[in-house]
Structure 1
């Protein structure tokens, strides 16, 4: 029962009283509260109790206190205080009377171009201020955009909230909702490399603008989180029937390469510089999911030209779009190398972008000079270097159409011409590049980085694969991340993965070589997995993150998307196996577990009596008992308990029931209602109720 329902406001620390619950989410609950010292109404985000028991979270919470308290801007919901007391971990903020943008969208469906741009500019203004203060948001979405008065208006009532919340979640080992953040708004570089920068916030703002215009995010549709992540990385956002100049800015904001995107301030200015007729169109009807997706075009990079900058002679240059990739592109667009005049604005290359690596893994973004991702990624700017990329305005004087946009069009056009020339130089594209061994030898190695998969158990896995068509081998690297809390101990974990068959032939068997120390077997009969080509892999742990690799002798053919299709099949098989309700065997607890359930041997006891508890694991195939406090020694530690918790569950109860070293609870004092819960790793059960009488 809530404090309001009981008629007794609950204290939050020594200064605040919780009065009314306004909402709840994955991270916790939002309450209307009163500041006892001023009488003002404030909003208090009370984080889930789970976070209180995580020393890393509490440390991060305290460490970022000064940054959050000093983050002030008219478009940012101001953080007033941070409370850490007892089992309370809360962020106290300004109370915005209105509603969030998500609720508004549910009512109206879409916004007009003008309204959508005004809202997005307000969000970008907030991001620009945060980035200048060396802080990232990490979770831009309509739920975190508040509308004072309940409507967008002219944008002056738009406020961005929840700064620091996603960062706290990322530091936590609690990942019950899967990937940290919201998959529909996550940038490609986060799915590919696990990296986040100010450009990533800008990408999410672009997704937000797209959603305001279309009524859906660009890559929403059928499929799992992995499928959506793959779309962010590999396909183009479906075009919208909006003004071409508006689409140009939006497309740059949604660029796959973070170096191609503008800064938050420059993106906001680019949107404000759009001519009036680009924003006059009424709201679109909600856009449906496309029938098919267009793969993002990638040119072979031999000579990399980085993003261009605008220099209009009025100050420091601001970055604009454009990676002109390929040796031929560099030749045809030779003017880009020395500067292309576009109506008084000059485009010229600056810092280099991503370069391919030779280690069989996906290319990693690099920068000359200061690194893009500093040691502390929540502080994006380096000392002596502004987080801003350039001036707010980057257009020719007196021009209604920003000249940077014309420059982008010129650069993109030249790149397209270069690609066509490259195709003609290569000759007829209908020839089979894999017709012979000599032809295969000239084919490039294919590389795929699959989006990470996160599980309620706290486990995160990701796979990188490289296919050599000439050698007919696939190298697979599996990265396993499993944070260990104090008192937990795991030597190894057992995981399920798939190495699918080629189009012709059976599952790879004798041609698979795993790293030394890795125990792996194909299609174990005791695992209950129905899908073919399943491997049970025992991964030895060293620290919170471990990588294991396998070399697979496999001919996937010569098609340029062969590895992509093979990896998609592996992900699809894994998803199907973990969701298979007919499999009643808990062979892979870290991947199969959806939650834990607590049972007590009796719900009513008297003082001096003990209570035994049992813990069950819930998974797609049902539930399986994994812990019984009545058992002793190693009998109490099943394999599932060892893997999920690194030790027996921790019991939490009211003061009336005291946990015993033997594993049960002892009733020490009367209680009309004593709630008991179990914690196993990062998993926590719903409470069971015990009554203790005299």
Structure 2
């Protein structure tokens, strides 16, 4: 059954044009709006209309994209519900997709591939900062505002967030696989979970394809064979310089915790691009017949397939009889949204005899020890499933140690904010629990707060962090102006005057001893303070941590009787910021976000007469009027925790004396 026909009406405001694409759950058409604009519409397939989960996913695409208003993301304009037909209306991007570029142009020059992928990472960084993952990054879902020969910086648009999930910092456990086999991150195949790090991996596959003309694990076998290579095989080395390969290899790390955040990946690619400007594109190579395996722990797919069984499934030819292979779609590059078939795994006779009769379910426990490995893996029992991830190896060296704890007391900042930090390393979990205590003195504090969570050593990548107590996203230097590695943006905190709030974080770091834990906790505190007090940082981000003082500005001369214009100027480590005042009296409109963050809004501001009755202050304490002539006068001010402020001296004259 066809979804639509050219010329057919779509709701009351649109008419179908041409079909320009199709995906797992819908087709994409050009449409003409009533005002003559050409837009695009994604229409749900009729065969899915009775599937509640797919309908929910389709409807969610609109709400997700409405919250993702960024130039690097295709914006949604409308949603049409017409009988059994659902359609999302979005901007039409005329330049085609990267799939067409990859097919027609072949491998791209490294500088071009890096520039395009950096813009994809920009889109992902924005989405991740809003708690959204894409989960199906591939060339088909990356569009260009202008056709390839005319392409330029800023033309990349990421589309099709229809199978994305709103996730926050906690990685969601799925009930099946959603994605594209050639681009699926290994944790989605092996453990059925995905998150922002999975998007980074898929974008790394995209970069590999733009450089090589093929995906890293394309080759012989079934679509499941291709997908399983993400778990079991190393990506074949490309003939590019070491810096580019090291970055690409990091993006394709089997361990999600080892991959950089999307914003960090974008910055890394942009640093590499200028040095590769003169490099030619690689020749399109053939996919290898065999792949190098990686050493890895035993793997269970959704609690159903053991590592040995997965290997057998991956090696099975498509025509093999009596082989239950997860259905991953028609082709390795097609999006699928299907559950993995579940079945009971019957114990093998030879293993059954070796296991204790009291615990027959855990017949695969022997697989926890790899031959030739000295790594002890963490076994976690969740609802009858064992999930072993590569990241669990990090905790193994200290698993037999004692619990460690450390504290770093905070010092009050000029705004009255004190940040105290404590950490407890628990060997049984292999994680360090970090507690941040934010305390306020005389004024309520709110807004965004910066926190740097480094690795144990300087060379370590930024650890993955699971937060509780605040809405948290990665710090984006391009947005906040604070360029610091391993930085996090904590929002939604409200610290009342004289009280405190706590935020906790689980960090997968395993210090070897008390000295290493103390050094790690201290390094995070010092890095956070250094970033907040960096004199090179401009802008008004993180005001509760960065505001150093407030200057009270008035005109040099005031005419009586008239209101006195008072400007409260924030002072950062870089100096006074006249362009972004905290407050201007007499006030017009809502108070600035900065004022709300450091003083609770206008209620935290008060002015008073500093010249013996020459000034009159209204009952709110916010409007000052010049009443008496005097050659020298000052106005005093209190702003949140800044209580002893005073303006420079100014004169008050009469209208006659001023000549007005």
- Relative to the length of structure 2, the TM-score reads 0.46
Q: Which has the larger radius of gyration?
A: 2
